[in-house]
Structure 1
């Protein structure tokens, strides 16, 4: 969403996000919101990821994380960012 939308209320952000969804994703989002009226966009995204990402995707990300090595000529900052992103994708429990 645009930076200007960052100032919108959380409810407005949720409804703006809903306009981007179609099909099963839209249906699942509406079901989630029916039971969680005060949900944030981040909570909604997390729910959709949990619903639509399969176990194989998680295993693939874990394998990529385990094999992650600093490449020749890669700065420590770039390597750190790459590892951090892979870790967040592989181990979603609070990163």
Structure 2
């Protein structure tokens, strides 16, 4: 996955060496697993966002609160977090960094 991110998004990950990128992917994968996200497409989105677009987004307190809420499924909570990320990105003038 790290090499795919490097090939497709070189400018966004250029600050990471190979080991750093692999560790970022690993951290995102482990976090998605810890949160219970099982849907393959959502896990891939989580890993991409957490590695390339908005590194370690799950550490943002507001997003962490959404992801750890006691309501809904892990996938629903992640979709809620994605909606929040979308709003934050648009407000920060980074609307071109979101696609969902």
Say yes or no: TM over 0.5: no
Q: Quick check: which has more Rg, 1 or 2? A: 1
Q: TM-score, normalised by structure 2?
A: 0.30
